[in-house]
Amino acid sequence: MECYRLSKSLPDEEKYSMVTQIRRAALSVHLNIAEGCSRKIRGREKKIL
């Protein structure tokens, strides 16, 4: 949630280029953790995380 709050506080000229990138990166962290935890192969889990 901090990433979303930070992205709202960016200057207007930065918002359009950086906001989507920041938000996608923040979402990617959660998705990678979920994917890594769902794997049964521990070696692959480490690579994903």
pLDDT tens-place string over residues 4-49 = 777 777 777 776 777 778 778 888 888 887 777 776 666 665 665 5
- For the entire predicted model, the pTM comes to 0.48
Rounded (10°) CA dihedral 21, 24, 26, 31 = -160
Residue with structure tokens 């990678």?
32
Structure confidence at residue 45 (pLDDT) = 57
**Torsion angle of alpha carbons 8, 12, 15, 17, nearest 10°?**
180
**Phi, psi at 40, each rounded to 5°:** -90, -20
Q: What is the pLDDT of residue 25?
A: 84
Cβ count near 3 (within 10 Å) = 15
- Looking up tokens 């480490």 gives 46
Q: What pLDDT score does 39 carry?
A: 67
pLDDT of residue 16: 73
